[in-house]
A and B are shown apart, each in its own frame.
Chain A
Amino acid sequence: DAKTTQPTSMDCAEGRAANLPCNHSTISGNEYVYWYRQIHSQGPQYIIHGLKNNETNEMASLIITEDRKSSTLILPHATLRDTAVYYCIVAGGTSYGKLTFGQGTILTVHP
């Protein structure tokens, strides 16, 4: 699986949009970009995923650059409960399911 690079930590004010970047310059054609988050002492929670088009669901939006070498997860109106570690993972093909978790981005939402 391609490796991803994320900032170690980010801060965001409650009610504002949180934009979490991820670089995946070695992504291959059949690999998707997945975002998960992990709140302390819980299992990871799936947020969103995409291949090359931008995606939106009830939790977030995913913007993938045209060359697919980077992406941004957008939480449109961050709340205190969005404080978590956010993982950007690329996976696909026969290795799917064997997700490689990096260190992720610690997002802290403050009042």
Chain B
Amino acid sequence: GAVVSQHPSWVICKSGTSVKIECRSLDFQATTMFWYRQFPKQSLMLMATSNEGSKATYEQGVEKDKFLINHASLTLSTLTVTSAHPEDSSFYICSAFRDRVNSPLHFGNGTRLTVT
């Protein structure tokens, strides 16, 4: 069964508004979670690494002020897309692994964001 839960599955918002996406590890504690983004017909791209109790680290080209990440507990990370624009429409996917060396990364089912 799913070990990483993501909510919502899909969301439609108006341009200029903010959207929050939640990612939960269901049966383990995750000090680190990862946020990926996937545009249509493209592969997944890592956006940022979410660290419990500290600031997230962002990949090159990802605006940290636009994609706010909060990892306030060992089972929850949130991604907020601020002042969303149509070009932010994408499939956002979170992932986490149990804190064991080389254990597999488990992915949530993704959130389809459409900005109108």
- Chain A interfacial positions (CB closer than 8 Å to B): 32, 34, 36, 38, 41-46, 49, 51, 87, 92, 96-104
Contact = CB atoms under 8 A, between A and B. Distances in A.
Given A41-B91, A103-B43, A104-B43, A97 B110 contact: no
Instruction: Name the prevailing secondary structure of the A interface residues.
Output: loop
B104 A34 contact: yes
Given A46-B104, A46-B106, A97 B93 contact: no
Instruction: Assign chain B's interface to a size class.
Output: 20 to 34
A42 B109 contact: yes
A103 B43 CA distance: 6
Contact of B93 (A32, A43, A98): A43
A98 B49 contact: yes
30 contacts: A32-B102, A36-B107, A38-B44, A42-B109, A42-B110, A43-B4, A43-B6, A43-B93, A43-B95, A43-B108, A43-B109, A43-B110, A44-B44, A44-B93, A44-B95, A46-B105, A46-B106, A46-B107, A49-B102, A51-B102, A87-B43, A96-B101, A96-B102, A97-B95, A97-B105, A98-B46, A101-B36, A101-B43, A103-B43, A104-B43
